[in-house]
Amino acid sequence: MSTFKAPKGTYDLLPPDSANYLAVREMISAPLRRAGYGYIETPGFENVELFARGVGESTDIVTKEMYTLTTKGGDELALRPEGTASVLRAALEANLHKLGNLPVKLWYSGSYYRYERPQKGRYRHFSQVGAEAIGAQDPALDAELIILAVDAYRSLGLKNFRLLLNSLGDQECRPVYRAALQDFLRGLDLDDDTRKRIDINPLRVLDDKRDSVQKQLAGAPMMRDHLCEACKEYHDTVRELLLAAGVEFEDDPKLVRGLDYYTRTTFEFVHDGLGSQSAVGGGGRYDGLSEMIGGPALPSVGWALGVDRTVLALQAEGVELRLPSATQVFAVPLGDDARRALFGIVTGLRRAGIAADFAFGGKGLKNAMKSANRSGARYAVVAGERDLAEGSVQLKDLETGEQQPVALDEVVAELSRRLA
């Protein structure tokens, strides 16, 4: 056993469980790729100021949860706590918005880091798949991304997730609502840290999960009652497009999410089988974020879905993903000549697209066949000196137990036919 353990709040992904995580990433990204989203990968750390400006200096993510470090050259960096700011920074740096094909549609997958109190479904290192559509303000784009997320969850077999939907208005109507909310909040019995938020970003108070705060918010003014006509029309169109696509949702006037950059459409996916950490993903429109980080006006929308929590949701519903077998054929050589011959066959099988493995370490027949069965393979290819002398191998069906000789030069073709 190693002297070291994984850091608190983190985890190692190991087989066979890691296969589920890979499958979830693949199935979440599949609808995005079909919709024209290209893959992007950004560094695991960025300039601290990128997140301070983009995510928001009043958010818990920036004030309490970021892992920061100072380089030998004096640069202040942070392990990325979320993906949107990094993706937008990369798109601006590469001038993707100047290529004349807006929106720029991107998807990503990776690890993110937040210093939080570890509990089930909330880790200090976690995995997400995200998508961003940069450079267009169109309710159809908001609806497209939401539908793609819903389709991803459905393709995984999830049924008990719910979509919460809200609009946070824009620069025209939000200042009026902000002032009304501030007046209301100043009359409540709040702690000093929460009162500071009233002046910085009062909408964040609505996102406070403490019962003592939520009880006092019962009569708080809601953004939906202060939306300008343009934002009302925009939100109504998003709702209509979702309903036309068969996507059910719940209007949640208190939904603001934990980031400062959202405008207009805001949404969250929750699963009631996960307890207190019920959110499995979410996102929204962030029309002013580009300007916040020094770029031009680029209205955009995006989301991130948690891989870890999606796996927990699948477990809560008892959904078992149908995964391809890691090994379809297992080669069992008996003797040095057979090892050389079967090793060549295994290489040929792999090049033909068949998952094949080999009894390494000079195992005897009994132990090698145990390894074949444990691997989950459908077929075993067994060969000894007598088989080689006859120019054949023994092909054994591990499900039926049937065994028959197959010519050495026909093994790959025969298994390709059987496993097609």
Radius of gyration of the chain from Cα atoms?
Answer: 27
The reply to whether 259 and 374 lie within a common domain is no
Q: Does residue 263 sit within a domain?
A: yes
Q: Does residue 191 sit within a domain?
A: no
| pLDDT reading at 321 higher than 90 | yes
Q: Which of 263, 296, 317 is the last residue of a domain?
A: 317
Q: Does residue 202 sit within a domain?
A: no
What is the spatial distance between Cα 76 and Cα 57, in angstroms, rounded to a whole number? 15
The reply to whether 294 and 393 lie within a common domain is no
% of residues, the chain, pLDDT over 90 = 70
The reply to whether 357 and 247 lie within a common domain is no
Q: Amino acid letter at 410?
A: E
| pLDDT reading at 41 higher than 90 | yes
The mean pLDDT value of the chain amounts to 91
What is the spatial distance between Cα 185 and Cα 194, in angstroms, rounded to a whole number? 10
User: How many domains does the chain contain in total?
Assistant: 2
Q: Which of 263, 295, 317 is the last residue of a domain?
A: 317
Q: Which of 249, 284, 317 is the last residue of a domain?
A: 317
pLDDT at 58: 58
The reply to whether 273 and 356 lie within a common domain is no
Q: What is the CATH number of the domain that holds 86?
A: 3.30.930.10
pLDDT at 119: 80
pLDDT at 260: 64
- Where does the pLDDT of residue 59 fall: very low under 50, low under 70, confident under 90, or very high at 90 and above? low
Q: Of the ranges 136-145, 166-175, 295-304, which one carries the lowest mean pLDDT score? A: 166-175
Say if CB 286 and CB 84 are below 8 A apart.
Answer: yes
DSSP 81: S
The reply to whether 281 and 335 lie within a common domain is no
Say if CB 179 and CB 226 are below 8 A apart.
Answer: no
**Beta pairing, strands 161-167 & 263-271:** antiparallel
| pLDDT reading at 352 higher than 90 | yes
pLDDT at 258: 59
Helix (H, G, I), strand (E, B) or coil at 218: coil
Q: What domain range includes position 370? A: 329-419
- Where does the pLDDT of residue 60 fall: very low under 50, low under 70, confident under 90, or very high at 90 and above? low
The reply to whether 231 and 361 lie within a common domain is no
| pLDDT reading at 378 higher than 90 | yes
The reply to whether 365 and 300 lie within a common domain is no
| pLDDT reading at 418 higher than 90 | yes
Sign (positive or negative) of CA dihedral 25, 30, 31, 36 = positive
Q: What is the CATH number of the domain that holds 395?
A: 3.40.50.800
- Where does the pLDDT of residue 52 fall: very low under 50, low under 70, confident under 90, or very high at 90 and above? confident
| pLDDT reading at 209 higher than 80 | no
| pLDDT reading at 178 higher than 90 | no
Say if CB 177 and CB 226 are below 8 A apart.
Answer: yes
Total-model pTM: 0.89
The reply to whether 312 and 234 lie within a common domain is yes
Q: Does residue 54 sit within a domain?
A: yes
pLDDT at 57: 62
The reply to whether 385 and 237 lie within a common domain is no
141 backbone φψ class: left, alpha, beta (φ>0; ψ -120 to 50)? alpha
The reply to whether 283 and 376 lie within a common domain is no
Tens of pLDDT, residues 69-123 = 999 999 999 999 999 999 999 999 999 999 988 999 999 999 999 998 888 778 8
Tens of pLDDT, residues 253-290 = 888 875 667 889 999 999 988 877 789 999 999 998 99
The reply to whether 53 and 149 lie within a common domain is yes
Q: Does residue 207 sit within a domain?
A: no
What is the spatial distance between Cα 137 and Cα 91, in angstroms, rounded to a whole number? 17
Residue 241 CB coordination number (10 Å) = 18
Strand (E) or helix (H) holding 193: helix 192-200
Q: Does residue 165 sit within a domain?
A: yes
Q: Does residue 9 sit within a domain?
A: no
The reply to whether 283 and 339 lie within a common domain is no
| pLDDT reading at 2 higher than 80 | no
- Where does the pLDDT of residue 201 fall: very low under 50, low under 70, confident under 90, or very high at 90 and above? confident
pLDDT at 124: 92
Tens of pLDDT, residues 394-416 = 999 999 999 999 999 999 999 99
pLDDT at 245: 97
List residues bridging with 336 in a β-sheet. none
Residue 358 tokens read as 């080999």
Q: Does residue 194 sit within a domain?
A: no
DSSP 65: I
